[in-house]
Structure 1
């Protein structure tokens, strides 16, 4: 590594992980944890759907019993937009607090991150969105404490530096990412995921697997250019020995437990392990990064809103993030195979739960397709409402995600993306 450092390549990687508290009953310790962080008055950012299960009332009761006052914000968009983030930020600016608590899935936690960012350091949401879409502004200092209580097993947002948003007028999704946006504490309680519909569990769980596989096979950290200063080192640094440990365990959990979690909402072992896997994958990709499937997913989710996903509101046509990611992953990993065959085979073996016989470029794609079928995922881009005539627009949107494509273990251009997208119209 010292030799590559002399040649202008990176020789350092970092791991900054959210504090984690995991287990059934973890949420009951929220008051103690909030007081430990010095919180007296917080903004509770909560998914309003959780009222029907009494979860919001339960969390509010825990806070009240601990003497912590709060204002509640629950104008959560299922797939957040730049406008929904702006509304959350305005609420936070109008309700001074000393910290945030997020109760919900990735959309809720991402909303809390951005509300924290804007109310702490000012500016407009677009100022912080990743370039070339936004200004790429860096927050000048830390944010207030954020405690995340995930209720789904997918985004890993409770452990990452990123918040994802849709910009409808541009028909593209993008993100805001900085190390200061990582939640202070993740309280992962499997009991909170019991009420998640099967379709939501499927999409979220496939996102876990994509996070883990993409980060595991991403471009190694020491093949990236050395930054001019530590402040310029990106949150997504490339695969490294520590991130690989987290990613591999998340892949194994996904292969073993996702189908069970989708089939039975009362299977605490499966749903709880998938929640832990989501956090572990978040730690892995929060350091190593994701690449081709996620870069393609942003325009796939942003260009058309005609798909009605199982388990979500039938009045809200959109592509859930996990489904938008998984549909291109078989073709993407078929393309990246020869950059690191041993890693692709190991990932496939973990998903299958056994060593792969006659391993090759189709081993990982086949394992993913079988899992997609098992959990009721869409068969490809066509099922989401796209035709081959839409491919140029998807390519254009994916090429805007250079922050992600930089992590691919092989070069990516418009021609490569066209091949991947054509193969992904239907995976079976």
Structure 2
């Protein structure tokens, strides 16, 4: 089953990305970049674990040499919630005004910085801007401050995207805020900042990279949408020639670096390739979009039971975002195979060059993904993180709230389809 041909097919796609500065030692040039923007006082958003390493203090000292003051907010919550974002926003409002916002950390810090930037420059509260149907989906009316992102994990691609992801605690759902104004002004990617990333975090966040690339590559084509007025086009415009290039390159980099980065965390070359892969995937999905695995991941994370993954803080149960995305990916791509068989086969061959094609090509990409997941220590399905068959109706309900993502899938997605994907994902091997 595929989408019906639009009466007036879209003929225009949009592409956006931040300025990029990449390479070992690039983070030492933050002060120069802030000064070149005329910044004299900036908010640095980071997390307690990173703050304990001394890296934020070192960076604050470096930028002071350019006569720039950094005010540090160090309480970013791993996997942000509406409550944690509100805390960061209130801190920024109390300690501002600022000329810019700097995010130092993984996707949690970058997404927190995006929310802070939005709510310190625009009126209203967080729920006003969260995507419908969870929130009101309001667009920012005013320009935001320059946001500079320095990722310290290789995964989310948040330094390249227009999206802020969060858990809404009362509704037990993960959702987001999406608007082009949230995209960072500049991404400074220094692979040296990722060397302390634990193996488990490298595995989970790396699966986020992989699914970003795969989902944008297999997203419905931009030409399958009905033509929209310029003001109505959304950041997720569907697979297009530019996003395809970034996705393919990201998968090629992952094929040669992912397993090594997990097994040998101090391998600088592997870390550099993973950092590139994360950025490239972000530049792809930040325009084309993601679909079923990410839509499924939101309720998996939002409805977590007692799972506490090693390598992450143990003070609360959580399913890390990249892990949650991966747990239904093999079966999601089995479902979408018939919408674009050639793309699924091409992706499998990029991820595992030389792999033997199975008799049923629909099995190819799921088999490649399962082999990778087993090799890097990802749990063997949603059952391995505590979910049972009786939990599936609630998971499906949470997935169906992610219509912004499901609309990007290459074929229609209904409750029966999502139920089948979850049921087949209880145990992947």
TM-score above 0.5: yes
Contact between 1:161 and 1:235, CA under 8 Å: does it hold in 2?
yes
1:279-428 to 2 correspondences below 5 Å: 279-354=279-354, 356-358=356-358, 360-428=361-429
Distance 1:104 1:418 in 2: 35
Instruction: Give unpaired runs (5+ residues) of structure 2.
Output: none
SS at match of 1:362: helix
**Cα deviation code 1:204-253 (max 9, x no counterpart):** 000000000000000000101222x2121011110000000001111111
Instruction: Provide the secondary structure at the position in 1 that maps to 2:134.
Output: coil
* Shift of residue 57, structure 1, vs aligned partner: 1.6
Confirm or deny: 8 A CA contact 1:106 1:157 kept in the other structure.
yes
Matched, 1:266 2:266: yes
Aligned counterpart, 1:66: 66
Partner of 1:25: 25
Q: Is the 8 A contact 1:45 1:72 kept in 2?
A: yes
Contact residue 352 and residue 368 of structure 2 kept, 8 A:
yes
**Residue matched to 2:118:** 117
Task: Report the alpha carbon displacement of residue 6 of structure 1 after superposing the two structures with TM.
Answer: 8.8
In structure 2, C-alpha distance between the alignment counterparts of 1:245 and 1:37, rounded to whole Å: 31
State how far apart, in whole Å, the 2-side matches of 1:306 and 1:224 are: 41
> CA 1:305–1:79 in structure 2 vs 1: closer, same or farther (change >3 Å)?
farther
Equivalence for 1:152? 153
CA distance in structure 1 between the aligned counterparts of 2:66 and 2:373, rounded to whole angstroms: 44
Residue by residue over 1:303-348, the C-alpha shift from the partner in whole angstroms, topping out at 9 and shown as x without a partner, is 1241111211222210000110001000000011111111001110
Q: Deviation at 1:286?
A: 0.3
Query: What is the distance in 2 between the residues matched to 1:249 and 1:89?
Result: 36
Q: 1:356 to 1:243 in 2, by over 3 A?
A: farther
1:51: how far off? 2.8
Please say which of residues 135-144 and 238-247 is displaced more in the overlay. 135-144
Q: Structure 2: how far apart are the matches of 1:269 and 1:375?
A: 18
Q: Which residue of 2 aligns with 1:135?
A: 136
SS of 2:166's equivalent in the other structure is strand
- Secondary structure (helix, strand or coil) at the match of 1:103 reads strand
C-alpha contact (below 8 Å) 1:147/1:187 kept by paired residues: yes
| Alpha-carbon distance, 1:415 to partner | 0.3
Structure 1 runs of 4+ with >4 Å offset = none
Secondary structure, aligned partner of 2:362: coil
Distance 2:6 2:216 in 1: 26
**Contact 2:105–2:153 (Cα < 8 Å) also in 1:** yes
Q: CA contact under 8 A between 1:102 and 1:108: conserved in structure 2?
A: yes
- Count of aligned positions: 424
Shift of 1:355: 5.6
The gaps in structure 1 that reach 5 residues or longer are none
